[in-house]
Structure 1
């Protein structure tokens, strides 16, 4: 008897849901002329805006003010890290900012920034490339995995200052 009652309850719930769906699709709703415009305006004004990802680095203004590091945009797979927080970090050495560390996650990542006077990068387990500029000249350096790589002024015959502009990684 319990099974029969349970079956009737399920059938009733299904029929009720179907009837509600039919009413909604069947157009038995108030027409826009029947809804006061103030009600529609209030709902439109109170609704949340669209979430549009601009890939801007979170708290970039605060990081610039606190540490002098200008982080611009990224995909979230390369993030600024405390150098003492882990061992498998990318280390960027700059005469202007000393050592700056980045945590890398995911299979690929990118981060744009402006870090002046960069002269060395210590790679981690990821394949890494860095884009740098000096004046109007742009150079790309492949970073050795788990080893130090001279970049910027230490790899330049003229010893010019280079600004780190982008880090790209892949698994």
Structure 2
């Protein structure tokens, strides 16, 4: 048996009103309409910029970033920057996903940074407890720390 459109609307309205009334009655009686599990941790939609899978890279401490500068395998063919350190014989390679972005990190014994891109790049380094920003020229190499005739450098940030 088919109901007319008017009767279907009336039945739907009555059902909806009944559900709302039951929910209001439950809340009035002290029963929450939708109770969350008591042990559930609240989640946050706020971005904290922590670096995903940072523990996967034991030779470097990746701290934070905006997702536009990512560490990559140097053989992947997407290398925007190379960071050379005495901590290992091969460079740390980074891919830039545009002409702006940042990644905070800690990498000891850095002696050189190569910018393979046609846009400005800077690096924040600490040498002898003094932190400074070094500009890395477009499609060029910049010595830092021992590579610039100074003492050992710790790389703290790359920025495009």
TM-score range relative to shorter protein: 0.7 to 0.9
Cα distance 1:80–1:165, how it changes in 2: closer, same or farther (>3 A)?
same
Cα distance, 1:124 vs. partner?
Answer: 2.2
Q: Does the CA-based 8 Å contact 2:60-2:107 persist in structure 1? A: yes
Cα shift readout 1:71-112 (whole Å, capped 9, x = no counterpart): 111111111100011154200011113311000003411111
Aligned length: 149
Q: Which runs of 4+ in 1 moved over 6 A?
A: none
Give the alignment of 1:55-94 within 5 angstroms: 55-64=49-58, 68-94=59-85
| Higher deviation after alignment, 47-56 or 100-109 | 47-56
Gaps of 5+ in 1: 1-8
Structure with greater proportional helix content: 1
Give the alignment of 1:9-158 within 5 angstroms: 28=21, 29-31=23-25, 32-34=27-29, 36-37=31-32, 40-41=34-35, 43=36, 45=38, 49-51=42-44, 52-64=46-58, 68-98=59-89, 99-125=91-117, 126-156=119-149
Q: Does the CA-based 8 Å contact 1:83-1:89 persist in structure 2? A: no
TM-score (ref. length: structure 1): 0.71
Structure 1 vs Structure 2 CA RMSD: 3.1
Distance 1:36 1:59 in 2: 42
